[in-house]
Amino acid sequence: MKYVGRKEKNKTYEVRKAIYVLIFNDNNEIVVLNVKNFGYILPCENKDLPKDEIFKKISEEIGHELRDIKLQDKIGAYYHIKVDSEIIYCDVKADVYVAKVYESGNDETIDGHEIIWKKPEAIYEKMALDFQRDILETIIRQGVS
């Protein structure tokens, strides 16, 4: 598993297991979520749920069934986020899947986050988390396997 980011000494990291799904439409655009007060992120879910439930939940969230789902990569990352006034140090271990939808879905998620369809190259620099930029960089360089 490839890791990105740098682990800071003397910090307690919360391990997060996640599944990220790069969802492509017929125009080779991916869906990103614009989360208020945070920025652009890839659709993801906690890995505690069975994979089929995760894919169903993401499908419901964007308003379209995911098809042709396949494992693309595994990635680990050290990062931190600020929630209210607290800094949370995260050690994410993620499975990255790719999937297709055959038409664009909703304009916002059921949680009220804006859904944006963009080419990976167009959204790369705007991602809120470094390791998600790394995921997109791999897709840009290698394409979808």
pLDDT tens per residue across span 82-113: 888 999 999 999 999 999 987 656 676 767 77
In this prediction, residues 6-21 reach a mean pLDDT of 93
Give the model's confidence band at 77: pLDDT under 50 very low, under 70 low, under 90 confident, else very high.
Answer: very high
Report the domain count for the chain.
Answer: 1
Q: What is the CATH number of the domain that holds 128?
A: 3.90.79.10
Quote the CA–CA distance of 27 and 117 in Å, as a whole number: 9
Average pLDDT over residues 36-63: 80
Alpha carbons 31 and 29: distance in angstroms, whole number: 7
Average pLDDT over residues 25-31: 87
DSSP letter for each residue of 46-90: ETTS-HHHHHHHHHHHHTS--EEEEEEEEEEEEEEEEETTEEEEE
Residue 35 has pLDDT above 90, yes or no: no
Residue 104 confidence (pLDDT): 59
The token duo for 22 is 């790069």
Residue 76: which pLDDT band, with cuts at 50, 70 and 90?
very high
Q: Residue 4 and residue 78: Cα distance in Å, rounded? A: 7
What is the extent of the structural domain holding 11? 2-142
Mean of pLDDT over the chain: 84
Percent of the chain with pLDDT over 70: 92
| Rounded Cα–Cα distance for residues 19 and 71 (Å) | 10
- Band (pLDDT 50/70/90 cuts) for residue 71 is very high
- pLDDT band, residue 37 (cuts 50/70/90): low
